[in-house]
């Protein structure tokens, strides 16, 4: 075991503070990564403040982790000391259920182990995330980083990137298709970039007309103001696929009406209240309303390789570790373009 310093909270109404804890030493198949950058996901805020009513305390968030390998176990073959590596939302799964056998550890039927706020099946206690100096992870859940990408801007790909890449790939988005992305936040800006790189004609649905210029810079060919009933009515039956990244209440039926027959709207934003669906909008066009959760490890590596081939990273704003509560407050107000990333060199040496 070795002592590690991170930032954690002991309760929903408490801020994140320096926190000292023990990490396991690398076992035969483990990789130790000294963390250089960690992205800030809206899930981190939800969990720290127990907004999903499932937080285990102390809670030490962070699942968009990149850094340099500082130690490897005797059986590790994918990494050597000095390599850059990443860790996303998962650090373990049962590895033998049908989903795991298909490389879909994100849908593990016996319960996946998340990078934080999960039972640690190896060391006991809780898993602690990337708001910390270092992490030790089985090499099977550790990812290679394309050498041509800016490391700090890669970090959000480990959640925001795979969350949007996985459904775009699953529903075979590609050239000749008209694809809508709903919302231009941390997830939405990645959805626009990835769908554009896949060859689709991308349209952004937004409530904010002032986002049009940025949407086009990111790869959207058009912008549709979803608060304009006439603009929405004009899109009826014209989309092959829509990726909805909005995590607040909104009119899902107006979006479903924009789909062609047999087309799919996939929800990746997670509103805290149910979305009311008019089933007749589905029945009469055989439309599909679906969801998607991050991605498996192989698919996450595929996403990173795709981003390396196309030069795709997240648009980020760097912060210091002690600025995390300010970043949480700004993120809740959508005051970031488009993802915060923590420079872990700012982590205190001791709690």
Structure confidence by residue, pLDDT tens digits, 30-43:
999 999 999 999 99
In percent, the amount of the chain with pLDDT more than 70 equals 100
Of 268, 291, 314, which marks where a domain is finished?
291
The reply to whether omega before 338 is within 30° of 0 (cis) is yes
Q: Which pLDDT band holds residue 271 (cuts at 50, 70, 90)?
A: confident
- Do the domain assignments include residue 100? yes
- Looking at residue 166, its pLDDT comes to 98
- Looking at residue 197, its pLDDT comes to 98
Same-domain pairing of 77 and 141: yes
pLDDT in tens, 182-221: 999 999 999 999 999 999 999 999 999 999 999 999 999 9
Q: Is 273's pLDDT higher than 90?
A: no
Same-domain pairing of 50 and 154: yes
39, 187 contact by CB (below 8 A) = no
How far apart (Å, rounded) are the C-alpha atoms in residues 73 and 88?
20
CATH number (domain holding residue 61)? 3.90.180.10
- Do the domain assignments include residue 351? no
Average pLDDT on 322-346 reads: 95
Same-domain pairing of 20 and 135: yes
Same-domain pairing of 245 and 271: yes
Residues in the chain: 351
Same-domain pairing of 277 and 305: no
Same-domain pairing of 192 and 62: no
Q: pLDDT averaged over the chain? A: 96
Same-domain pairing of 37 and 136: yes
- Looking at residue 272, its pLDDT comes to 80
pTM equals 0.96
Same-domain pairing of 191 and 49: no
Cβ density class 6-25: b for 16+ within 10 Å, e for less: bbbbeeeeeebeebebebee
Total number of domains in the chain = 2
Same-domain pairing of 190 and 225: yes
pLDDT in tens, 60-102: 999 999 999 999 999 999 999 999 999 999 999 999 999 999 9
> CA gyration radius for the chain?
20
Residue 285 structural domain: 161-291
How far apart (Å, rounded) are the C-alpha atoms in residues 135 and 228?
47
Average pLDDT on 243-250 reads: 94
Mapping DSSP to helix (H, G, I), strand (E, B) and coil, where does residue 102 land? Answer: coil
Residue 35, strand partner residues: 67
62, 321 contact by CB (below 8 A) = no
How far apart (Å, rounded) are the C-alpha atoms in residues 60 and 21?
10
The reply to whether omega before 54 is within 30° of 0 (cis) is no
Q: Is 179's pLDDT higher than 90?
A: yes
Please name the residue ranges forming H helices in the chain: 42-48, 98-101, 151-154, 160-170, 188-197, 212-218, 229-233, 252-256, 279-283, 297-310, 324-332
């Amino acid at each position: 075991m070795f002592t590690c310093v991170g930032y954690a909270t002991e309760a929903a109404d408490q801020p994140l503070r320096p926190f000292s804890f023990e990490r396991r030493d690398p076992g035969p198949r483990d990789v130790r990564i000294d963390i250089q950058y960690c992205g800030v996901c809206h899930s981190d805020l939800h969990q720290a403040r127990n907004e999903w009513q499932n937080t285990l305390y102390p809670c030490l968030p962070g699942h968009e982790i990149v850094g340099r390998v500082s130690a490897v176990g005797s059986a590790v073959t994918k990494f050597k000391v000095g390599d850059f590596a990443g860790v996303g939302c998962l650090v373990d799964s049962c590895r033998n259920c049908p989903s795991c056998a298909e490389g879909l550890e994100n849908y593990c039927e016996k319960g996946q182990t998340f990078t934080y706020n999960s039972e640690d099946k190896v060391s006991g206690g809780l898993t602690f995330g990337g708001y910390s100096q270092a992490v030790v992870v089985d090499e099977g859940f550790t990812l290679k980083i394309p050498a041509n990408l800016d490391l700090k801007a890669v970090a959000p790909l480990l959640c925001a990137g795979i969350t949007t890449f996985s459904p775009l790939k699953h529903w075979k988005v590609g050239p000749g298709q008209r694809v809508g992305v709903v919302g231009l936040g941390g997830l939405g800006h990645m959805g626009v970039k990835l769908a554009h790189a896949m060859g689709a004609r991308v349209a952004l649905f937004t409530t904010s007309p002032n986002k049009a210029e940025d949407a086009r810079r990111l790869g959207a060919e058009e912008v549709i103001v979803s608060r304009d009933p006439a603009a929405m009515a004009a899109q009826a039956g014209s989309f092959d696929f829509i990726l909805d990244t909005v995590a607040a209440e909104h009119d899902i039926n107006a979006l479903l009406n924009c789909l062609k027959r047999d087309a799919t709207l996939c929800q990746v934003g997670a509103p805290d209240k149910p979305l009311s669906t008019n089933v007749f909008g589905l029945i009469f066009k055989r439309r599909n309303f679906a969801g998607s959760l991050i991605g498996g490890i192989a698919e996450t590596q595929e996403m990173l390789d795709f981003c390396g081939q196309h030069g795709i990273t997240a648009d980020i704003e760097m912060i210091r570790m002690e600025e995390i509560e300010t970043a949480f407050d700004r993120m809740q107000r959508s005051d970031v373009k488009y993802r915060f990333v923590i420079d872990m060199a700012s982590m205190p040496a001791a709690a």
